[in-house]
Structure 1
Amino acid sequence: MVQLSRRSLLAAAGAASVAGLAAGCGDDGSEGGAGLDDKKAGAMESFKAGDQFKATEPLKFSIMMLSNQAYPYKADWPMLAELTKRTNVTLEATAIPGSDYNQKRSVMVSAGNAPFIIPKTYHPDEEAYIAGGAIIAVSDYIDLMPHYKDKVARWNLQGNLDGYKQQDGKYYLLPGLHEGPWQDYSLAVRTDIMTKLGLQSPATWDDLTTVLREMKKAYPAVYPFSDRWSTPPQPGANNLLGILSTAYGTYAGWAYRNQSWDATANKFVFPGASDAYRQMLTYLNTLVTEKLLDPESFTQTDDIARQKFANGKSFVISANAQTVVNEARKDIAKIPGATVAKMILPTGPMGPTLSGDSRLENGVMISKAALESKNFVAMMQFIDWLWYSDAGLMFSKWGIEGDTYTGKVEDGSFKLNPQIKWAGLNPGAPKDLQVDYGFFNGVFAYGGSTAMLNSQFSDEEKAFQAEMNKRQTRPVDPPAPLTVEEREQMTLWGTALKDHVNQQTLRFILGQRPLSEWDAYVKELQGKNMDKYLDTMNKAHERFKGNK
């Protein structure tokens, strides 16, 4: 995250800019088109939920486009041509490789020369740009977005969105919306090895330890578990820590944050100093000490981790639905009789629960320059249709009915064209939905109904999701909106705290630092302003409750 300017004049200017946008807001905090009479060029006069958006004149909108390594951006994708045909909008893309996306986005947004539409932004990354006025308070304009408003209301997502609100009562990121929570990431395991050793799929993380011990006993020269998704550049931040921390009721790895709500104590606490976090590290240290988990798991590149799995030097690796099919199965194809599957996510001390945070996805920021365009209203209508309408989501995910797919997701008759493959669907087909067509490219295709989510799954993945759906959803943390000044200070404190947690997390796991030094580690966090950080969060929460 980019550190905010500490100059009070800049902060004041940003606050004034935001306040200016709020003029004329309704009781729900949305502007509803007030003061936008000169910004309606190309907009539909009447636009409601269920309508197909089509600009009344040809329009062009600039967009920041993440170019995924697995399916690099192509200007001639059929998806883009069909989008123009349907909406009368041409997207002018600034394509950025995924490895550079966050950094280049920060530079462009902070400099004020970002495209109008800035997608693929994960909360709370947007907070770094609020004080300078580089992005708009999108909540001021949701009355222009009937599909978005409809889904928020029908799926009861307002409570989730409250966590995105700032001290001014507004939010600055339009997230992807899911009807229900969902879990994609887990671990993939060599099922042929499981069968050979007579092992059952582990129900708990302790069961997994037993499985790994049996694998180690049968193959003493192998690290049974060698993991991926740890670099670059944060050795303590990875998928394994993320999914394991959920089982322990804390936050770590990809999911790490500097605060979590303790419902018993009725206050925010620091995850990296909690007893649950210590228990999680003890578990991982045990795996490393017994040589069940490759110590290089937290620093090696994905390619090296995949090579070990492909060469039979490991049997367990982090995975999601796509990587099991697109990578793991291809990687082990040369091993006679080798099979792999994604295991049901093991449970831990928290039992069969899932975080409620998964109902909101990465989302879209809107640059301040977009608000100055005469086509602003049309742009918001376009965003609403493409990212939030059922028709727009179906288009961005699956493409063109009768061409790339047939049927409906609602009645289960959906079928991907057998000549086109995607993840576990039609794996032997000659064409690829993402590479060759540009659909399901991740910039547009997220969120939607549970039925639409299920449409992208193979029978194997549907069985996984059915098990995940049986789990109880934990409530999201309550809001604690910060002032501009608080956010600047918290960014400084938070960066130092997170860096220290990640560094010491790795040392504890690998045994470079004994867990007997836990109390000393907590004192180090206190020396880095942990208590002041939490005090600010808790005061902000109390202030929010008082202002409701």
Structure 2
Amino acid sequence: MFRRSWRHLAMAAAALLAVSSVAACSGDSADSQDLSENRAGAMADYAVGTQFKATEPVSFSVLYNNHPNYPLKNDWLFWSELTSRTNVTLEPVAVPLSDYNQKRSLLIGAGDAPLLIPKTYPPDVHAYVSSGAILPVSDYLDLMPNLKDKIEKWNLQPELDTLRQADGKFYLLPGLHEKPWHEYSLVVRTDILDELNLAVPKTWDDVYTMLKAMKAAYPDTIPFSDRYSQPNPAGNLLNLLALSYGLQGAGWNFQHVSWNANAQRFEYTGATEQYRQMLQYLNRLVAEKLLDPESFTQTDDLARQKLANSRSFVISGNAQALVNDYRPDLAATNPKAKVTKIPLPVGPAGEINPASRLENGMMISSKARDSKNFVAMMQFVDWLWYSDAGQEFARWGVEGQTFVKDGSGKHTLAPDVDMIGLNAGAPKHLQKDFGFANGVFSYGGKPELVQAFFSAEEQEFQQVMNARPPKSPPPPYPLSDEEREQVSLWETPLKDHVYQATLQFVLGQRDFAQWDAYVGELKGKNMDSYLSTVNEAYQRYRDQNN
């Protein structure tokens, strides 16, 4: 759920394909500011690969998202080892996961926010920029050599530009992935494929062929019956198809605009030719009884029951749904059944990995800038969240206690430590008992680190997806406060009408001959004004930053 929320903004904000350096794009660099009074505890020779250790004991407050699966403990090894390595003591201000966003807003609004504010998603940042409550972190990237190094080595500047506000600066330090991480795809009964001598489908056309063969062999079934239809009809299926058709997102990740690289302008997603073709594809599946029309309305439980009872053979999902839902369901009803998550089928957009390489990140209170320890704090953040050593520590813990390495450098959990069942029955747990692999401190990195606790099957899936080139991000269009307020009034009526018409077209309740009339209805709901605002913002940003 959280990753989906991040992708929603990352794709909507879009990015500028910049050729200039990070420092040149980020406004005032730290070197151009007088930080002579803010260097207490900072290292003079801090650089990539350097173990950060403050030259005197320092402490920083941090807003702590207290996860119910591993509630905060003051005696975690994470805290003591972190202090031992860095001379930094973190002072967590614990907030329950369920109230995190609300409590964060209250603390920031009252001027009582901790200095470090992690687990923040880009949409959350907008509310705080104009008040001056959070720091324009792009001004201080020169203090963060590991972050800059990864941006350069991984060519992340286009993605980073998605975070920029109307002033050209960004106010969030995001989690960085070397490779995109795509979660969701189709889950298929591979024993049925074997029975019918069918290959795993590689394209959406292949999916159609597969479903036709399944229907011919089992005429009383509807081969594909999907879940994730509440609150958004066919939320996951529509999004998977939209990405495959080259759009920014649909369904539960609906994006109002998509970038037309040929025309060099944004178009309204729900009115594009790609969206129409996508709906025609789904309509064909429904009309030929290959896709269950209840996929757009049914509960997840009902979709799972149909798969478990062999009333369907295909559903969508991620690794967690595969292992926790589908396989146990089938084991209880049909132990010989085999089900697998297949690589995302390829559509008209070609072989791409559509996932973002950014993740939730960190805001920093503007109060931090006046601290005598400001430079040391930025160095510490850079080490823990962005250095290879800091990322290894946050995820794996302490070598010899929570994990071991073999001669090739491969990490393995210590025999008495468990994590997601890798050492089932072990007496200790990496998160609950030690505080490592904690979502507040551990995210982003190289694929081998990010996927460290993935099953071998999921790692294979990711290898296939990582072999595909990442989706090119479109350019940014940062809106002013006034523009953002105006488009927010247009968005809900537009989205609601797209959802309604999508169902009508797919289910055959509306003929595609009425497509132009539907587009006219969107125009009547301010679609053109919405596009004008977005494209003017894009042009303004491009002109100011070229």
The letter of the residue matching 2:184 is Y
Letter in 1 for 2:472: P
* CA-to-aligned-CA distance 1:398-439 (integer Å, 9 cap, x gap): 222223322279x46333335545458556766554455443
**Alpha-carbon distance change, 427 to 341 in structure 1, aligned in 2, over 3 angstroms:** farther
Q: Distance in 2 between matches of 1:62 and 1:387?
A: 13
Contact 1:326 1:423 in 2 (8 A): no
**2:375 alignment counterpart:** 377
1:10 match: none
- Of 514, 518, 522, the residue aligned with 1:517 is 514
Q: Do the aligned partners of residues 381 and 215 (structure 1) sit closer, same or farther apart at CA in structure 2, a change above 3 Å counting? A: same
In the alignment, structure 1 residue 535 sits paired with structure 2 residue 532? yes
**Alpha carbons of structure 1 residues 520 and 450: separation in structure 2 relative to 1, 3 Å:** same
Quick one: distance in 2 between partners of 1:93 and 1:237?
Answer: 39
Counterpart of 2:48 in structure 1 is 49
Q: Give 1:116's aligned residue.
A: 115
- Choose 379-388 or 36-45, whichever is displaced more: 36-45
In structure 2, the CA distance between the partners of 1:497 and 1:38, relative to structure 1 (3 Å rule), is farther
CA distance in 1, matches of 2:513, 2:239: 24
Q: Which amino acid aligns with 2:277?
A: Q
Query: C-alpha separation between the residues in 2 aligned to 1:532 and 1:497?
Result: 12
- Shift, 1:65, TM fit: 1.0
1:260-281: CA deviations, max 9, x gaps? Answer: 2211112111111101011112
- The match for 1:464 is 461
Pair 1:336 & 2:335 matched: yes
Given residue 439 of structure 2, which amino acid in structure 1 is its aligned partner? Answer: G
Structure 2 partner of 1:253: 251
- Could you tell me how far apart the structure 2 residues matched to 1:303 and 1:134 are? 44
Using structure 2 for the length normalisation, give the TM-score. 0.82
Aligned residues of 1:52 and 1:385 also touching (Cα < 8 A): yes
The range that moved more, 434-443 or 396-405, is 434-443
Matched with 2:169 is 170
The counterpart of 2:313, out of the listed 312, 315, 324, is 315
Alignment match of 1:263 (pick from 261, 271, 277): 261
1:169-228 CA-partner distances (Å, limit 9, x unpaired): 101221111223343322222323332343321111122233334444555555533434
User: Are 1:278 and 2:276 counterparts?
Assistant: yes
Which position in structure 2 is the counterpart of 1:144?
143
Match for residue 207 of structure 1? 206
Give the deviation of 1:235 after TM superposition.
1.0
Letter in 2 for 1:493: W
For structure 1, the 5+ residue unaligned runs are 1-24
Distance 1:49 1:331, change over 3 A: farther
Q: Which residue of 2 aligns with 1:92?
A: 92
* Distance in structure 1 (CA, Å) of the matches to 2:499 and 2:111: 32
Asked whether the 8 Å contact 1:42–1:59 carries over to 2, the reply is no
Return the offset for 1:483.
2.9
**Residue 129 of structure 1, CA deviation:** 2.9
Provide the rounded CA distance (Å) in 2 between the counterparts of 1:167 and 1:449: 31
Contact 1:134 1:367 in 2 (8 A): yes
Letter in 2 for 1:440: A
Counterpart of 2:199, as a letter, is Q
Aligned counterpart, 1:20: none
Aligned ranges 1:493-512 → 2 under 5 Å: 493-512=490-509
Quick check: 1:178–1:447 contact (8 Å CA) kept in 2?
Answer: yes
Task: Report the CA distance between 1:51 and its aligned residue.
Answer: 2.4
CA distance in 1, matches of 2:329, 2:393: 31
Letter aligned with residue 57 of structure 2:
E
Q: Which runs of 5+ in 2 are unaligned?
A: 1-22
Paired with 1:311 and 1:86, the residues of 2 have a C-alpha distance of 55
Q: Which residue of 2 aligns with 1:179?
A: 178
Instruction: Determine the C-alpha separation between the residues in 2 that align with 1:419 and 1:319.
Output: 32
> 2:61 touches 2:115 (CA, 8 Å); kept in 1?
yes
CA shift digits 1:127-165 (9 cap, x unpaired): 243223333211122222221111112222222222322
Checking the alignment, whether the CA contact within 8 Å between 2:227 and 2:234 is kept in structure 1 is no
Quick one: structure 1 residues 306 and 39, their matched pair in 2 at CA, closer, same or farther if it must change by over 3 Å?
farther
Give yes or no for contact 1:186–1:345 (8 Å, CA) kept in 2: yes
Which residue in the other structure is 1:4 paired with? none
Question: One-letter code of the match for 1:61?
Answer: S
The verdict on how the C-alpha distance between 1:227 and 1:264 changes in structure 2, with shifts beyond 3 A counting, is same
Question: Is 1:63 matched up with 2:63?
Answer: yes
- What is the CA–CA distance in structure 1 between the aligned matches of 2:449 and 2:170, rounded to whole Å? 27
- Paired with 2:459 and 2:325, the residues of 1 have a C-alpha distance of 19
Aligned partner of 2:131: which letter? G
Q: State the distance in 1 between where 2:520 and 2:112 align.
A: 43
What is the aligned length? 517
Contact 1:238 1:253 in 2 (8 A): yes
TM-score, reference length from structure 1 = 0.82
- Would you say 1:445 and 2:432 are equivalent positions? no
Structure 1 residues 28 and 60, CA, compared in 2 at 3 Å: closer, same or farther?
closer
Pairing of 1:101-112 with structure 2 (within 5 A): 101-102=100-101, 105=104, 109=108
Q: Is 1:26–1:32's contact at 8 Å kept on the other side of the alignment?
A: no
Task: Give 2:402's aligned residue.
Answer: 404
Q: CA RMSD in A?
A: 3.4
CA distance in 2, matches of 1:101, 1:517: 45
Q: How far apart, in 2, do the equivalents of 1:359 and 1:284 lie? A: 29
The percentage of counterpart residues that share the same residue type is 54
The aligned counterpart of 1:160 is 159
**Equivalence for 1:22:** none
CA 1:254/1:66 → structure 2, altered by over 3 Å: closer, same or farther? farther
Q: How does 1:422-433 map to 2 (within 5 A)?
A: 422=419, 425=422, 432-433=429-430
Q: CA separation in 2, counterparts of 1:299 and 1:84?
A: 52
Deviations 1:475-495 (A, max 9, x none): 210233333332332333334
2:384 counterpart of 1:386: yes
Secondary structure in structure 2 of the residue aligned to 1:472: coil
Q: Which amino acid letter does the alignment assign opposite residue 27 of structure 2? A: G
Contact 2:26 2:168 (C-alpha < 8 Å) held by counterparts? no
Q: Which amino acid aligns with 1:256?
A: F
500-509 vs 167-176, which moves further = 500-509
Question: Deviations 1:21-78 (Å, cap 9, x if unpaired)?
Answer: xxxx98852441734455545544543222233443252412141626xx34333554
Partner of 1:353, secondary structure, is coil
Q: For residue 278 of structure 1, give the secondary structure of its aligned residue in structure 2.
A: helix
